[in-house]
């Protein structure tokens, strides 16, 4: 095992650029000149500027994944094949793999940028049988006793 990678802005920039391009931190940290994931997490816990840079890179990654969705969905090159008899055969495995790639990117993008790519959830509170909610409010005033002129 070699020496630990040095904490430099160049290393931090490369990590963030590669994340923003859609690469996973696990994959980045497998490179010989990169720190391991635990070291990156230590750097993140001690450096607010790097944390901000990393968070921005993750937001950019969500955009890259969103762009990937269109490319994967539009790529039909291997969806069908022609056998020796000239019959067109649909490759369900290729289509299923593309669906998995799309679903994974959608899920990750929704977690990285929930306001833009997350599910929109709204709650509506109603009373019994869908009627408007009824609220009973009792107000008790507490204050000084009135002096009715009797002293």
pLDDT tens digits for 58-91? 999 999 999 999 999 999 999 999 999 999 999 9
For range 43-59, the mean pLDDT: 96
Specify the pLDDT at position 1.
Answer: 47
Specify the pLDDT at position 148.
Answer: 67
* pLDDT higher than threshold 90 for residue 6: no
Query: What is residue 25's three-state secondary structure?
Result: helix
Which residues lie below 8 Å from residue 82, measured CB to CB, with a gap of 6+?
A: 88, 89
Query: What is residue 23's three-state secondary structure?
Result: coil
Contact 80, 86 (CB under 8 A): no
pLDDT in tens, 101-148: 999 999 999 999 998 898 888 888 888 888 888 888 888 888 766 666
More confident residue, 141 or 55: 55
Please report where in the chains the tokens 């002293």 appear, as a residue: 151
C-alpha 89/C-alpha 82 separation (Å) is: 6
Longest dimension (CA), the chain: 115
The DSSP code sequence of 51-68 is HHHHHHHHHHHHHHHHHH
H/E run at residue 82: strand 80-82
The alpha carbon of 8 is separated from its chain's Cα centroid by a whole number of angstroms, namely 27
């Amino acid at each position: 095992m070699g020496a630990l990678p040095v904490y430099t802005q160049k290393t931090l920039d490369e990590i963030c650029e590669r994340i923003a391009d859609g690469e996973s931190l696990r994959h980045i940290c497998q490179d010989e000149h990169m720190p391991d994931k635990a070291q990156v997490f230590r750097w993140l816990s001690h450096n607010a500027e790097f944390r901000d840079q990393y968070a921005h890179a993750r937001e950019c990654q969500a955009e890259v994944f969103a762009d990937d969705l269109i490319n994967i969905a539009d790529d039909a090159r291997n969806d069908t094949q022609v056998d020796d008899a000239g019959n067109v055969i649909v490759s369900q495995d290729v289509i299923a793999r593309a669906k998995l790639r799309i679903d994974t990117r959608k899920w990750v993008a929704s977690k990285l940028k929930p306001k833009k790519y997350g599910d929109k959830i709204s709650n509506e509170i109603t009373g019994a049988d869908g009627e408007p909610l009824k609220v009973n409010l009792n107000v008790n005033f507490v204050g000084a006793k009135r002096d009715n002129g009797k002293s």
